[in-house]
């Protein structure tokens, strides 16, 4: 019985000191339909990358925890698929353009982005019909996703 009482006290105290969520935040951002988006949080805020479907623009936005836009830039005007990885000092925007994998890196608080795209990552299949991808269903998927990770100073992409 002592163990159960102790466990209940621990659970109750961790409930009282637990982290709380902010309320829903409206940002100043506006765009057409978003095709892909990804985000990563670090000490500077919430880093968001997204593709505006109508304009095919790859956009980067740095938001505060309260939703204030701290930085906003269009990284490319013709992109498919978007992902972002990194840490406090390095951000990598990964996307596909004209059938090639593109990688942009920022190391200066996200003001400038350097193109570090691999030269061998060409002919990435981006479009396929649903029948080719999922013949047993009517599921529509048009873009080939990529995956990336950044850990201990090493960037990996698959």
Residue with tokens 């204030």: 68
C-alpha to C-alpha distance for 32 and 30, rounded to whole angstroms:
7
CA dihedral of 24, 57, 71, 46, whole degrees rounded to 10: 40
The DSSP bridge partners found for residue 97 are 100
Which contacts qualify for 127-136: CB closer than 8 Å, 24 or more apart? none
pTM: 0.73
Are 65 and 77 contacting, i.e. CB atoms less than 8 angstroms apart?
no
Rounded CA gap, 109 and 44, in Å? 8
Report pLDDT digits (tens) over 37-80: 889 999 999 999 988 777 678 999 998 888 888 998 999 988 87
Token pair recorded at residue 60: 């980067």
DSSP category for residue 23:
P
List, for residues 107-155, the tens digit of each pLDDT value: 887 888 999 888 777 766 655 444 454 555 555 455 556 788 888 888 8
């Amino acid at each position: 019985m002592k163990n159960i009482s102790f466990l209940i006290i621990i659970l109750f105290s961790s409930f009282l000191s637990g982290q709380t969520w902010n309320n829903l935040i409206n940002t100043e951002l506006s765009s057409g339909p978003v095709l892909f988006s990804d985000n990563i949080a670090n000490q500077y805020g919430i880093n968001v990358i997204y593709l505006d479907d109508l304009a095919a623009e790859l956009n980067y936005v740095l938001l505060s925890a309260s939703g204030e836009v701290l930085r906003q830039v269009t990284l490319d005007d013709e992109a498919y698929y978007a992902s972002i990885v990194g840490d406090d000092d390095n951000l990598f925007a990964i996307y596909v353009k004209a059938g090639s994998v593109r990688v942009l890196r920022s190391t200066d608080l996200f003001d400038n982005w350097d193109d570090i795209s691999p030269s061998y990552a060409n002919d990435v299949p981006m479009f396929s019909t649903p029948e080719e991808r999922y013949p047993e269903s009517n599921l529509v998927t048009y873009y080939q996703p990529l995956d990336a990770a950044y850990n201990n100073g090493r960037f990996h992409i698959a």
